[in-house]
Amino acid sequence: MTNFSFYNLVLLLCLSFVIYYSLNIYLFNDLQATVSKSDFRVAKHHALSSKTEITKGNSFSKNTTSNSLLSVQKAIVVKSKILKPVFRNKNPKYIAIKQKLWPNANIVFPSTDKLIGAVINALTTDSIYSMKNSRRGTQLKLVLELTNSQLVLFKPSWYSRDEIMNGSVYSGKDRHNSEIVSFHLAAVLNLRYTPIVAGRRISLRDSLKYADAELLQTMPVLNNLQCVYGVCHFCKSDEIVCDDKQNGTLEGAVLFTIPGKIIKYRSPWQRTYKEQLKAEWEKNDNYCALISKKLNFDVLLDLIDAAIFDFLIQNGDRHHYETRENRVLLLDNGKGFVSDAQLGRGY
């Protein structure tokens, strides 16, 4: 009995040890699994929290950046309104096409740039969106609005291209082809002070829908042809230009608008336009010495260039001159190329 009890006790102890050991292993594994899941949930929570914080941070950063950019943009817009023309022309808000970046003082276009051809082509072919009268100067000019709100001047043809003018060197109306040739000659001579000019034909009849109310009042129909006489110092209702009978268009010259502030001055060598009355520069031998003390030296040199240029194109009508940033521009070259017989007369 004692032996039996002893063996039973040993067996019971062994069985208890196995059960105890098994329970420990089970509980340990279960606890480890529970902790891992808990850690995962905590880690996931932290990850989501971090992601939310990053997203909020990025959103705040983006909003801050956006507000900063808007502030900078507003500052640029405000500042651009008080800049000098030479700098304002480089603000995209004031640029219709890239060529407005070119002008520097009185240099209107660069000596070498393939884009000049593109500008000339645009002057010739771009669609017209509006047309109005220009009161600038003494003769008929039309203001055309082309693509990108680009404004250009249109000088109509009053004469055929080969017509010979009689009278003084400044006789008659402006010749549109003189503007065109003057631009190319100035480029050859490196006197790049003229506007870019191109020849163009427009239909006055087709352009009626683009004309403003003031211009429409000066656009009569004569002999079934659409005509115009405009409003200007010398404009008269009995002096008109009309669409051609053959092709239904009016030929003329389109002048690219030079950006910046342009100031007009009376020429110190202006004519009196009276045969019996001489100007001061024609009578006073010391006139040049007097003028050299009054004019800026660069302007004086520019006027000498202008005088040589006018001699070459036979322009005897530069009674005023225009400046841009205190340098002379060669504008209004329509009185050139009167005839071979007139070369040198009146100079």
For residue 224, give the DSSP letter. T
Centre a 10 Å sphere on the Cβ of residue 231 and count the other Cβ atoms it contains.
13
Q: In what order do the strands lie in the sheet with 262-266?
A: 262-266, 320-324, 327-329
Whether the per-residue pLDDT at 13 is higher than 80: the answer is: no
For residue 260, name the pLDDT band (cuts at 50, 70, 90): confident
**Contact (Cβ atoms closer than 8 angstroms) between residue 312 and residue 168:** no
Q: Any binding-site annotation on 243?
A: no
Which has the closest alpha carbon to 333: 209, 181, 205, 225? Answer: 181
Model confidence over 110-159: pLDDT tens digits? 877 778 888 899 999 999 999 999 988 789 999 999 988 889 999 999 98
Model confidence over 79-109: pLDDT tens digits? 666 665 555 544 444 434 444 555 566 788 8
Catalytic residue (choose from 212, 238, 317, 340)? 317
Model confidence over 280-330: pLDDT tens digits? 999 999 999 999 999 989 999 999 999 999 999 989 889 999 999 899 999
Model confidence over 34-48: pLDDT tens digits? 444 444 444 444 444
For residue 29, name the pLDDT band (cuts at 50, 70, 90): low
Q: Whole-angstrom Cα distance, residue 191 to residue 196?
A: 12
Question: Using H for helix, E for strand and C for coil, what is the string for 67-115?
Answer: HHHHHHHHHHHHHHCCCCHHHHCCCHHHCCCHHHHCCECCECCCCCCCH
Domain map (residue ranges) of the chain: 1-82, 98-342
Q: Any binding-site annotation on 179?
A: no
Q: Any binding-site annotation on 212?
A: no
Q: Any binding-site annotation on 174?
A: yes
Model confidence over 170-220: pLDDT tens digits? 778 888 999 999 999 999 999 999 999 999 999 999 999 999 999 999 999
User: Whole-model pTM above 0.75?
Assistant: no
Q: Whole-angstrom Cα distance, residue 312 to residue 306?
A: 10
Q: Any binding-site annotation on 99?
A: no
Which has the closest alpha carbon to 185: 15, 337, 346, 341? Answer: 337
Output the CA torsion 305→232→95→111 (10° steps).
-20
Bridge partners of 255, per DSSP, are 153, 197
Which is higher by pLDDT, 343 or 339?
339
Furthest CA-CA distance within the chain: 167
Is residue 317 part of the annotated active site? The answer reads: yes
Whether the per-residue pLDDT at 345 is higher than 50: the answer is: no
State the pLDDT at residue 83: 61
Which is higher by pLDDT, 169 or 326?
326
